[in-house]
Amino acid sequence: MSEEANWDKLVVGGTVLTMEPDTEPIKNGAVAIADGRIAAVGPAEELLEMAPSGDVLNAGNCLILPGFVNTHSHLAMTLLRGIADDLPLMQWLEGNIWPAEKEHMNRETVRLGTELAAAEQLLAGVTTTTDMYFFGDEVSAVLAEAGMRAVVAESLIGFPTPRCATTEEMLATQRDLLEAYKDHPLITPSVAAHAPYSVQASDLVADAELAEEYEVPMQIHLAETTWEVEKLLEEKGLSPVAYLANLGVLSERTVAAHCVHVSPEDIELLTEFEAGVAHNPVSNLKLASGISPVPALLEGGVKLGLGTDGAASNNTLDLLRDMQLAALLHKGVAGDPTVLPARTMLELATIGGAQILGLADRIGTLTEGREADIICVAVDGPHTAPMYDPFSHMVFAARAADVRHVVVQGAVVVRNRELQTLDRERIERQAREFSENLRPS
């Protein structure tokens, strides 16, 4: 570090959790930002002496850490939040969600739903999100305007969507998105196939080939329910995971959402092909799909991140809630309080998510040279006093409402809990108007 540092911003005064392996919290620490990247991390007093001027973001009484990474979602489904509860997955989809999407989802409503999702997530400390839905170009444009990092895909499914009539059209639309955003600083375009049971084998292969051609992730729902497993076993003689492996679709590019019903053999395949898994505990429990064997996945060497799923099945995009639930859930299921300690859970929500999305060389830790995606979470409330272990506090005591500042690629997008890039009042008003049209009172 030079004696006269030329930094754009300095995040100062909190306890820094870099999330780098084998590192200790830095009390009264600071993170310096230059040209959208982390320029230095260290004691606040030191860094302030080196750069006394510039934009100083006061993070006193906060935890300073990498932004959360949401590895599975359908963003515009915020507009369908609470439309159908207390149903199993296929009844929920076929009887409620797919009909509502057919009638009400278009470019305009997807834009609104994505704006709402971006606002909700940024205020909850999520700096990187994912989307597999419709009108991926519109989704990407909204998230770029919001200053949010994202991995976005146009979904491929075996029946007409609000945008595309055929799978050929869906694949062409995916390619258009890949071309349009291939060099974007915040948006990583990707491909997505809905599930092994809803997409023909030839289309699954075509999607995987597209992901390989453009070197991007392939998102897919996998082994979410016993119904899916039984269907694949009956029709293909293989588990969903083995089916994808047999097709040549499973790879290090795969971001497999759920993996609730996986066997030891499936776990071996996921590890062998270096596939990533997005764990969605709230959605899986709400739909009674089951509980993913996360400790076994981690023990088997599977790459793992956390996801919220869409707000229609969660019913929020609060990744911190999923993190807290996952930590408690797997301790209870295992009957072992040492399972998934707080630091491990926080790793899954940061660097773990970055790894399965192919972004671990850019984000996920507060490391000099990486892009500056940073959140400051206040620990000055009665529910966070006193604090002995900041990792434990972040997972078990903090709430989304405690997120004070959010920085993405060096830009402040939330300052003192105020969105800087989105018109929250207008978005919430339009969302309420949408609900009145969907369900007239």
Instruction: Check the annotation: does 101 bind a ligand.
Output: yes
- Cα–Cα distance between 309 and 100 in angstroms, integer? 17
The pairing of beta strand 303-306 with beta strand 68-69? unpaired
- Cα–Cα distance between 294 and 13 in angstroms, integer? 35
> Backbone phi, then psi, for 79, in 5-degree steps?
-70, -10
Instruction: Check the annotation: does 361 bind a ligand.
Output: no
**Contact 7/46 with Cβ under 8 angstroms?**
no
- Cβ burial of 334 (10 Å; 0-12, 13-18, 19+) is middle
Instruction: Check the annotation: does 55 bind a ligand.
Output: no
Instruction: Check the annotation: does 224 bind a ligand.
Output: yes
Question: Which parts are annotated binding residues for substrate?
Answer: 101, 194, 224, 309
Question: Which parts are annotated binding residues for Zn(2+)?
Answer: 72, 74, 221, 309
Question: Which parts are annotated binding residues?
Answer: 72, 74, 101, 194, 221, 224, 309
